[in-house]
Amino acid sequence: MGVRFTGWGIGLPERIVTNDELSLTLETSDEWIAERTGIRERRIGGTTRSLGAEAARAAIADAGLTPADIDFILLATTTPDRMAPATAAMIQSDIGATCAALDINAACSGFMYGVRVAQGLIETGTRRVLLIGSEQLSGWVDWTDRRTAVLFGDGAGACVMEFSSVTNDLISSTLGCDGGAAEILSCHHNATFTMDGQEVFRRAVRAVVESSEDAMAKAGITADDIALMIPHQANVRIIQAMADRLSIPMERAVITLDRYGNTSASSIPLAFDIARKEGRIKPGEYALVTGFGAGMTWASSIIRWS
């Protein structure tokens, strides 16, 4: 008995912005960005609402359901379109659902926080949860600041999580937060993101390594059992450092930041989609899904596909 992931979908703007295009207006280069981050291009456009609705429709169809079948909508976002109402409410209306709808914000860890919240809802009687990660970070980036502008992109990903009486895909989870680190990555109202990149890097590696170890210990498995690692897509050097410390070969990591940049709460479901399309998600295998973000927050889960 437990939770099953039954459908996935994505929503991406059409417009691709390459590193070369950014270097026309910023003192930067494709070489610097690719070498220091692994990012080569990102998608820009749409709204948190429009991208989220596109991903939501695709996930519901992939699960073989209709919007009327959904009992709860959770939207993980750092960039809601408005203070009120919640962007989840507007997506509910756009897709033609009638259930409860709620935004959650744990920054880039938001989707994995959402997985845990959805599990709690399902364990207490909610049958089907639509979990969306959607971000329009381009609206909150200072396009004159090369230290942050090159990192982020827009996009959305969604999944349907359902109660199952026969199987359980979500084996263990660890969530954490250190609100004392709020100032190292922050965005005030009517402002843009500011970041102490090196401090975020240092803390991120420690947070994902420790929480991944904790999630594996709770699941009763070791790094050798991990067939696939789906990390938050912020910087390939963070993913490399994490893989090294956990002794998980880099070939097992899913990388999407080269084409999408850092899409915050959307990055993990977008990576799931790529992993699926590449045929890397296999029944019975363990995946480590792990992320970190502003807060600072972090979250790791062990998933075994049924």
- Residues designated catalytic: 108, 232, 262
Per-residue x/- marks for ligand COA, 46-85, CB under 6 A?
----------------------------------------
Instruction: Give every CB contact of residue 83 below 8 A, 6+ residues apart in sequence.
Output: none
- In the bound state with ligand COA, the residue whose beta carbon lies nearer, of 6 and 301, is 301
Question: How many residues lie near ligand COA (CB under 6 A)?
Answer: 20
Q: Please say which residue, 150 or 281, places its beta carbon nearer to ligand COA.
A: 150
For ligand COA, the binding residues in 122-161 under the rule CB under 6 A are 146-147, 150
Nearer to ligand COA, 25 or 98 (CB): 25
- Contacts of residues 143-150 at CB distance under 8 Å and 24 or more positions apart, as own/partner, are 143/25, 143/26, 144/26, 145/192, 146/26, 146/27, 146/28, 147/195, 147/197, 148/192, 148/193, 148/194, 148/195, 149/22, 149/26, 150/19, 150/22, 150/26, 150/28, 150/33, 150/37, 150/39, 150/261
Question: What is the smallest separation between the CB atom of 283 and ligand COA, expressed in angstroms?
Answer: 31
Site string for ligand COA, 209-238 (x = CB under 6 A): -------------------------xx---
Q: Which of 198, 278, 283, 284 binds ligand COA (CB under 6 A)?
A: 198
Residue 21 three-state SS? helix
The span from the CA of 48 to the CA of 55, in Å, is 11
Q: Is 40 in the site for ligand COA (CB under 6 A)?
A: no
Tokens representing 242 are 């994490």
Tell me the backbone φ, ψ of residue 165, rounded to 5 degrees: -90, -5
Residues 108 and 135: beta-carbon distance below 8 Å: no
CA distance 288 to 218: 12
User: Which residues make Cβ contacts (< 8 Å) with residue 10, sequence separation at least 6?
Assistant: 54, 55, 58, 155, 156, 157, 158, 269, 270, 273
CB closest to ligand COA, residue no: 197
Nearer of residues 7 and 293 to ligand COA, judged by Cβ: 293
Q: For the CB of residue 145, give the shortest distance to ligand COA in the complex, in Å.
A: 9
Contact characters 284-303, ligand COA, x per CB under 6 A: ---------x----------
d(CA 221, CA 51): 36
Q: Which range binds ligand COA by CB under 6 A, 81-89, 90-98, 194-202, 208-216?
A: 194-202
Q: How many whole angstroms separate alpha carbon 43 and alpha carbon 18?
A: 9
Q: How far is the CB of 32 from ligand COA (least distance, A)?
A: 4
Q: Which of residues 78-97 bind ligand COA (CB under 6 A)?
A: none
- Least Å from the CB of residue 115 to ligand COA: 17
Contact 232, 78 (CB under 8 A): no
Chain residues binding ligand COA by CB under 6 A are 28, 32-33, 36-37, 108, 146-147, 150, 185, 195, 197-198, 200-201, 204, 234-235, 262, 293
